[in-house]
Amino acid sequence: MSPVPVPAVPRPPLRVALAGLGVVGGGVVKLLQANRELIARRAGRAVEIVALSARDRHKDRGVDLSPYRWEDDLGALVAAGDVDVVVEMIGGADGMALTLARQALSGGKALVTANKAMIAHHGLDLARLAEEKDTPLKYEAAVAGGIPVIKAIREGASANEIARVYGILNGTCNYILTQMERNGASFADALAAAQAEGYAEADPTFDVDGIDAAHKLSILAALCFGTKLDIDAVATNGIRDLIAADIREAEALGHRVRLIGMAERNGSGLYQHVQPCLVPADHPLAYVPGALNAVVAEGNFVGRLFFEGAGAGAGPTASAIVADIIDIARDEYGPAFAMPVDALDHAPSADAGARVGKHYVRLVVEDRIGVLAEIATAMRDAGVSIESFIQRGTDDQEGVVIAIVTHEGPARAIAAALATVAASDHVVGAPMHMPILTL
């Protein structure tokens, strides 16, 4: 006789409280309304919003909030007895968001957050709290928006030792760079266009200086390498110093310029850097257009995995948040960083100066005799070997643009050469240098 399956007892709904109702919060409400039945089928139980809190109750968010209880007080939202999951969408590394997160986890509630700054700065503490209370802490939306890259690395690539993880982690910068590529715009003009299109904030610092990407990179690194999150160890350069000629020369060299966050573990420790890089035209990152994000993870058995999708926006971010909620509804979750916090290594920072690779160097110089010799001498004295050297007049800068591609060598040598060169009276502004991504 075949076994008679026990009739499944329907599981009670998972009750969700939303804190923060900006663009993302509104997206989560819309998603949970629009895909309600589908989510119940997939999660094996209903997912129900029970309570909301945000600064302004009366703002029109284009979505019907009347079915849900409104709490003016975040503490009351978190403490409510009918809340299983708190979704933090307030933002900011500290302040109200952090207070809420701690309260939620301390109270044994599940916490879902899209807050990369908070996870980058306080992720370990929050994960420890979640462990103590045996409750989920999930943050898929904090990295690369709608791309399920936290899951792909935490679980999909879990059998692999990861050599490198890197990618395009900031859609604003990628939008600006692809604008510069398409129409030869200056950084300032491309930024203005991005602001006009809603891809960049009025104060673009967090994006264009690489801070947002650094937050995300530090999270990816912890997951890939089983190391303790260390946002302070991420060296960060943004894209403000790029000029139109950089994009043009990169193209002429068969490359595209992308802001790349890369973490790499080697013998000396963990290297974490956000910086503009030259990406070879036969690498998939070279084809990531506009505001998309993409992440590459290189595993010792799987080889190169590449994930691309929308890195921001209401819909994609809501998709990631609700995926986390569904995991919780299914009881399919575990330690936030794939292992208990105490099992994470403390990895020392790698000696970035020893990192070997090819570099792109660009200088703007006065058009006069002897300047070339001065630069070539500085390079030689620093032990930098030159693979190619292009000199062109330019119309968007005063002076002459010199673009150099070096042979493989340590970053330290490039830095030494550039320090000498930058001190020259004949060099206009700061030299630009970018590593060339190896396949």
Shortest spacing between CB 419 and its own copies, in angstroms: 39
Q: Using a CB cutoff of 8 Å and minimum separation of 24, what contacts does 35-41 make?
A: 35/322, 39/322, 39/326
Note if 59 is an active site residue: no
Q: Find, among 190, 114, 170, 200, the residue nearest to 311 by Cα.
A: 170
From CA 280, how far away is CA 272, in angstroms rounded? 20
Residue 7 interacting with its own copies (CB under 8 A): no
Spatial distance between the Cα atoms of 81 and 61, rounded to a whole number of angstroms: 27
From 30-38, 76-84, 170-178, 357-365, span contacting its own copies (CB under 8 A): 30-38
- The answer to whether residues 298 and 163 touch, using CB atoms and an 8 Å cutoff, is yes
Phi-psi region of 184 (alpha: psi -120 to 50; beta: other; left: phi over 0): left
Rg of the chain, C-alpha, whole Å: 24
Minimum CB–partner distance for residue 438 and its own copies (Å) = 17
Residue 206: Cβ within 10 Å count: 18
State in Å, rounded, how far the first CA of the chain is from the last one. Answer: 58
The answer to whether 287 contacts its own copies (rule: CB under 8 A) is yes
Residue 439 sits in the site that holds its own copies (CB under 8 A): no
Instruction: Check binding of 431 to its own copies (CB under 8 A).
Output: no
Pairwise CA distance, residues 156 & 178, whole Å: 30
Contact pick of 10, 303, 370, 393 for its own copies (by CB under 8 A) = 303
CA nearest to 378, candidates 404, 411, 416, 328 = 416
**From the list 22, 91, 156, 184, which residue makes contact with its own copies (rule: CB under 8 A)?**
156
Interface residue with its own copies, options 25, 123, 146, 167 (CB under 8 A): 146
Tokens of 151: 């899951």
Count the residues of the shown chain that bind its own copies, applying the rule CB under 8 A.
69
Residue 364 binds its own copies (CB under 8 A): no
Q: Nearest CA to 389 among 375, 403, 378, 400?
A: 403
Q: Does 301 bind its own copies (CB under 8 A)?
A: yes
Which parts of 309-338 interact with its own copies (CB under 8 A)?
309-310, 315-316, 318-323, 325-327, 330-335, 338
The single residue of 138, 216, 228, 358 carrying the catalytic annotation is: 216
Q: Is 165 helix (H, G, I), strand (E, B) or coil?
A: strand
Distance from C-alpha of 248 to C-alpha of 250, rounded to nearest angstrom: 5
Among 34-42, 67-75, 114-122, 427-435, the segment contacting its own copies (CB under 8 A): 34-42
- Rounded to a whole number of angstroms, the minimum distance from the CB of residue 354 to its own copies is 25
Residue 400 C-beta: closest distance to its own copies, Å:
35
Q: How far is the CB of 384 from its own copies (least distance, A)?
A: 33
Q: Which residues bind its own copies (CB under 8 A)?
A: 2-3, 5, 8, 27, 30-31, 34-35, 38-39, 41-44, 131-133, 140, 146-148, 151-152, 155-161, 226, 282, 284, 287, 289, 299-310, 315-316, 318-323, 325-327, 330-335, 338-340, 343
Q: Which residues are catalytic?
A: 216
